[in-house]
């Protein structure tokens, strides 16, 4: 067994989802504001609920993701340099 560890860095971009939800929210507001007969009120309320739920899910997922600790990143870099240095000494 070794003490090697993998670090995976993933850049998650939620901007497309956030823009879509914002656009749908704006459209919903427009429909509600002018009371256009496009949809019954209960359907509009359901759409509003679903949009809010999507925003909440994205926020909750974002909060669940680990944060990069700057101190840990520096220590990890030093650790990599030291491992490389000592491996070279043993060869």
76 lies in some domain: yes
pLDDT tens column, 6-59: 777 777 788 888 888 889 888 888 877 776 666 677 888 888 898 899 888 888
Is 21 domain-assigned? yes
Instruction: Assess if residue 56 is contained within a domain.
Output: yes
Quote the CA–CA distance of 30 and 47 in Å, as a whole number: 13
Please report whether residue 8 resides in a domain.
no
In a domain, 2, yes or no: no
Is residue 5 domain-resident?
A: no
User: Could you give the number of structural domains in the chain?
Assistant: 1
The pTM of this model reads 0.49
The boundaries of the domain holding residue 50 are 15-90
Is 65 a domain residue? Answer: yes
CB 13 within 8 A of CB 46: no
10 Å Cβ neighbour count for 78? 10
For residue 6, tell me if it sits in a domain: no
């Amino acid at each position: 067994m070794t003490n090697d560890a993998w670090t995976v860095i993933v850049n998650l971009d939620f901007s497309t989802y956030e823009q879509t939800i914002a656009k749908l929210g704006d459209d919903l507001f427009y429909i509600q504001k002018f009371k256009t007969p496009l949809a019954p009120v209960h359907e509009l309320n359901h759409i509003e609920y679903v949009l809010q739920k999507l925003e909440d899910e994205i926020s909750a997922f974002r909060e669940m993701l680990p944060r990069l600790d700057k101190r840990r990143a520096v220590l990890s870099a030093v650790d990599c340099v030291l491992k490389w240095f000592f491996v070279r000494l043993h060869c």
